[in-house]
Structure formats: structure tokens, C-alpha cells
Amino acid sequence: MRIGLLGFGTVGSAFAEVLAACGNEDVRITHVFNRGVERKRLHGHAKFVVDGAVWTERVEDVLEALDVDVIVELMGGLDPADGWLRAALGSGKHVVTANKQLIAYRGAELFALAASKGVQLLYGAAVAGGVPVIPGVAQGLSGDQITRISGILNGTCNFILSSMEGGADYREALTRAQMAGYAEANPSADVDGFDARAKLCILSRLALHAEINPDEVPAQTISNVSAVDFAYARELNCTIRQVSRAQLTPKGSGLLGDAVSASVGPMLVPKSSPIAWSRGTQNMVVTSGRFGGDVVFSGHGAGGHPTAVAVMSDVRAIAENSVQVRLPAKKMAVVGDVIAPYYLRFVVDDKPGIVAAIASELAKVGANIDSILQHRGFGTERLPFVVTTEPCLSSKLGEAIAEMAKFDFMLEPPLCLQILVVDDPETD
């Protein structure tokens, strides 16, 4: 089997190494496309590409090559990758990709094209790096009726937040992640939740059979979380993680048609939850099935080698003529409004009547206070304290927070984090 490799960056070069380590001379890279290809040929991992391979800056040299059976796309992004993969599939070539944005936004069309041409489109590396979540769900759990998926889908955010749990501040933890190669110079895709959101939509299609629009899924940044939030979280026997969560809405909920409740953002996670146990760049996905109960997938989700392992596994599946499991999916609306308990952190210029003013705004929207936490050692001119609420509707709580932000004693916009409920009842 002859491979045309699009991209010789962190993952592409690691894939070349993993492929060479397999020692199977019947599977080899015959073409490599990359911008600035001469520089890439000097990369230390170029030695893992067989002699005689074509290195090119013209993607057409790979897509139109007659001696390429499989296109392995590791460039990322929607365009021009979308056009490349359509051309590859249209010409009868199999495709393996790690492109989560492309699969999340345009996967349905690409799967249909692959099926019409009798070729495979595999994307095991698009979610959770080397953790076999996608084949595990598609093959190992296809007999169950999964009603909920939740977990940690971005290794960069998990590295940052677990570093903050150990005492680092946000900027320090982000710098460490960038120096280690986990975060880009512009970390927005990771820290603002867009990367995890795309992965959540891929898993929703696969596990919940729900085709949802990533742009409809609410995403909250982790950049507003500070060290003091971890101190308060510990008092509540929790930690803080970026949690991605999607759940089929209950029957009889009053919604018109089928829908999925979905969100991505930092949450307070009880330490009794498996999601709280994940450290560093680990990813974790928990599927909740009607018959099989909870199943946990865990492992390293960031870095070249873990991702390359998933790419190599897909290549081997094609080489062995494995039959791809095709699961049905239908378009569903996204519901961002949920009923849950919340953590509210305020930074105020302390004066009498602050708690009463906050309680009044919460009462107006039917939100009850569960607890109030305040640490000593902070000056009254800039005092952080926390209010937790009993379960309430997120949209109503948002209205109250918008009003609280207008108070003259409020020095920062209030931070609102959902508190994950471990024993959330299953959807019937």
C-alpha cells in the first residue's frame, strides 16, 4: 500500500517514524507534500521516509499520482483541505485524516462521497489522539444505546488546568504548554473551547447518532479561571477541568423534535468523578449507555506520537481490508440551556450590602444560594468570594449575572462555572 502524505509537521513526521518502526515494507510513503519542502527534507525524521519518495510543494503531484493508494492528511483546517480530500476520494483513493474541524463541519458530505466511490475515510486521530475512542465507540459500543458523552477532549487545556491545580497561575501554565509544544502561539482554538467543540460534535455523530452544528454549541474560555478558583474548588471537594458534554434530551421534555444538550467549558468537577483524575495532556471520554452503563476511555491526547499511533492504526485497518462500521445519524438541534448547580466567583470593592444585592438578583430569576465562601487574607479593596447555587436554569442565571456585572462595587465580570453532577440521571 502506497501512501501520499499531506503535511510533514509534528504529527506527519511522527507518523513517518511510527510507520518505519512497524517494519512492514509493503506499506510505505511514496509522496510527501509540504510548503517549504526542502526545509522539511532536512528534518531529522525525513530518514524514516523511503529513498525515492517524491517530496513536493505541489499538492496535485500527490493527489493525481497513480502510485498512491491512500492519502494521509495531517495539515488541518477546513480549506483547502476540504477540496484536497474531495479530490482524493473522487479519484478512488482512501483517506486517513486527523482533521477534527473538517470532520466536524463537513464530515457527513465526505462520508457520503467516500461511500459512493467505494473507499474508506477514517479519522481515528481526530479525537483524543492515541486514545481509541472512535473505533471503540463505533465497533465496541455500537450495540448499546448511548445517551450521554462527557469528558476532557483537549490535552492542552488539561495541561494548563492541572498545572494551575498544582499552584501555577494561568499565564505561567500557558507559557509552559507553549514551550512544551502543546499550545500554539495563538492558543485560542484550545483555551476558548473551539478544538474541543469540534471533537464533541464528531463524538455526538458517532455515539448519539446526532448530526449537530459546532457553531451552535456554547463554548466558554478557560482564560478567566484563576488560582483562587482552585482554592475555593478544593473547599467544595472539587477541581476544575475543561469539560465537553453532550446528552440526548429526555423524551417528553417539550422540545420540538429531537435535540442534544451540549456545551464545552471549564466546570467544577467533584473529585469522585473519573474526569477529575486526568492530569497533564491526558484525554478522557466517558460514554453512558442505556444497557452497558458507563465506559471510560483515557490516555494521552496531545503530541505527535500519540496522534501518529491513531493515524497508523487507521492505515493498517485499510491495509487489512477492515470493514468500516457505518452508523446512522440525523440532524438535531442543540440546546445550550441546562439546569445545573453553579459556582459564581466575584471580585468586589467590599462594602455593606453586597451579599444582599447579589441574593436579590438571584432571587429574581428563581436561583437559590447553596453556600457562600470567603477566604481571609485579601484586602477589602479587592476581595474575591464565591457563591454556589442550587440547580437553576443557565439562561436565567445568565440574566442575573448580567445585572450583577453593573453593580458599582463589582471590579471584574463575575465568573460563572457549572458544577458537574456525578450522579446525573440517565436519559430514558
Q: Could you give the domains of the chain?
A: 2-122 (3.40.50.720), 133-300+328-335 (3.30.360.10), 339-419 (3.30.70.260)
The whole-number pLDDT of residue 6 equals 98
Distance CA 93, CA 71 (A): 7
Residue 302: per-residue pLDDT: 67
Mark residue 366 as left, alpha or beta (left: phi above 0; alpha: psi -120 to 50; beta: remaining).
left
- What mean pLDDT is reported for the chain? 92
Residue 256's pLDDT is 41
397's grid cell: 442565571
Residues 317-326 pLDDT 10s: 999 988 777 7
pLDDT given at position 243: 97
Q: Point out which residues pair with 419 in neighbouring strands.
A: 268
Please provide the size of the chain in residues. Answer: 428
Handedness of CA 325, 328, 333, 339 (dihedral sign): negative
What is the SS3 assignment for 338?
coil
Measured CA to CA, the distance from residue 341 to residue 390 in angstroms comes to: 5
Q: Does the structure show a pLDDT above 70 at 273?
A: yes
- Residue range 273-301: average pLDDT? 91
199 belongs to the catalytic site? yes
Given this model, what pLDDT does residue 252 score? Answer: 54
DSSP strand pairing (146-152 vs 238-248): antiparallel
- Region 262-279 average pLDDT: 94
pTM: 0.92
Q: Name the active-site residue from 199, 364, 396, 406.
A: 199
Q: What is the pLDDT of residues 215-239, one digit of tens each?
A: 999 999 999 999 999 999 999 999 9
Task: Categorize the per-residue pLDDT at 428 as very low, low, confident or very high, splitting at 50, 70 and 90.
Answer: very low
Stretch 299-317: mean pLDDT, rounded? 89
Expressed in percent and rounded to 5, the helix, strand and coil fractions of the chain are: 35, 25, 40
Rounded CA gap, 239 and 207, in Å? 27
For residue 284, give Cα distances in angstroms to 130, 169, 266. Answer: 11, 24, 15
